[in-house]
Amino acid sequence: MKIAVTYDNGQVFQHFGHTEQMKIYTAENGKIISSEIVSTNGSGHGALADFLKSFDTDVLICGGIGGGAKDALKNANIELYGGVSGNTDEAVSAFLEGNLEYDADVECSHHHEHDENHTCGSHGNDGHTCRHGNCNGGVIAVTEENFSKEISDYNTLVVVDFWASWCGPCQMISPIIDELSGEISDVKFCKINIDEQPTLADKFNILSIPTIAFIKNNNVIDLSVGYVPKEELAERIEKNK
């Protein structure tokens, strides 16, 4: 049996679509006989199901996970145990012993609203919660349907991350956006998937990703293109408030 766990420094990583590493365990007769840490090479969401299938994975253990990824795993015949936190080795041992604590109904949806206090998995120790249907801390997934409410009618600064699941630098900057959304309370943080929302990408003339747009009163007042470190992005936000 092959068991994969979203991995970050020995812990179960809490955002399936953004995981940069998986720890793959081989088990026989209820015991771990080997394990290896592998890079996902920037794969995201649905693509990760194919990645796991390439390792003949039977079971995935993770924290938060979206509905689309759950469907992809089901189609790949990979059994899911979501909503798990803590040490990866301990999680796999608990699974093999039949006492793993998990959430069979875990789902971080990008398209419907949750109660603001709902947590997605455990999010490790970062204290973030899923808000407005996006399990990236306080980051809101924007579509054509909620664009007016979340961006165009908003009169203070909105920081918008234009991204795609196949974009490696997008996966690198996404955790930074997540962290800043939990640290800066007077700015709204949003994400727009250019593959799912091409009309919005065209509206803002997005030519490359990741692009961070700083929008106020429905006007783009600044753009940051490509990966930038957290400190630089925080300075840009402060400058544009």
**For residue 114, how many C-alpha atoms fall within 13 Å in the half-sphere facing its CB?**
23
In whole angstroms, give the CA distance from residue 84 to residue 5: 10
In whole angstroms, give the CA distance from residue 117 to residue 98: 30
- For the chain, which domains are there? 2-97 (3.30.420.130), 139-240 (3.40.30.10)
Give the residue numbers annotated as catalytic, written as ranges: 167, 170
Q: What is the chain's alpha carbon radius of gyration, rounded to the nearest angstrom? A: 18
Residues forming beta bridges with residue 223, ordered by sequence position: 213
At residue 241's C-alpha, the angle toward residues 169 and 205, to 5°, is: 45
Question: pTM here?
Answer: 0.48
Residue 189 and residue 220 in contact, taking contact as beta carbons nearer than 8 Å: no
Transcribe 34-65 into DSSP letters. EEEEEE-TT--THHHHHHHHTTT--EEE-SB-
Q: Say what the pLDDT of residue 32 is.
A: 94
Token digits for 21?
């590493």
In whole angstroms, give the CA distance from residue 25 to residue 47: 20
Share of the chain residues as helix, strand and coil, in percent rounded to the nearest 5: 30, 25, 45
- Between β-strands 11-12 and 2-8, what pairing exists: parallel, antiparallel or unpaired? antiparallel
Q: What is the pLDDT of residues 54-94, one digit of tens each?
A: 999 999 999 888 777 788 888 889 999 988 989 999 999 99
The kind and range of the H/E element at 170 are helix 168-183
Work out the number of other CB atoms within 10 angstroms of the CB of residue 62.
30
Q: Say what the pLDDT of residue 132 is.
A: 35
In whole angstroms, give the CA distance from residue 219 to residue 87: 45
Q: What is the pLDDT of residues 190-213, one digit of tens each?
A: 999 999 999 999 999 898 899 999
Adjacency order of strands within the sheet including 219-225: 139-141, 188-193, 158-163, 211-216, 219-225
Mean pLDDT over the full length of the chain: 83
DSSP, collapsed to helix, strand or coil, labels residue 163 as strand
The kind and range of the H/E element at 238 are helix 230-240
Q: From first to last of its 241 residues, what are the pLDDT tens digits of the chain?
A: 999 999 999 999 888 878 889 999 999 988 999 999 999 876 555 578 888 999 999 999 998 887 777 888 888 899 999 889 899 999 999 999 888 988 877 655 433 333 333 333 433 333 333 333 333 347 999 999 999 999 988 889 999 999 998 888 888 899 899 889 888 888 999 999 999 999 999 999 898 899 999 999 889 999 999 988 999 999 999 999 8
Distance of CA 35 to the CA centre of its chain: 24
Handedness of CA 174, 179, 181, 184 (dihedral sign): negative
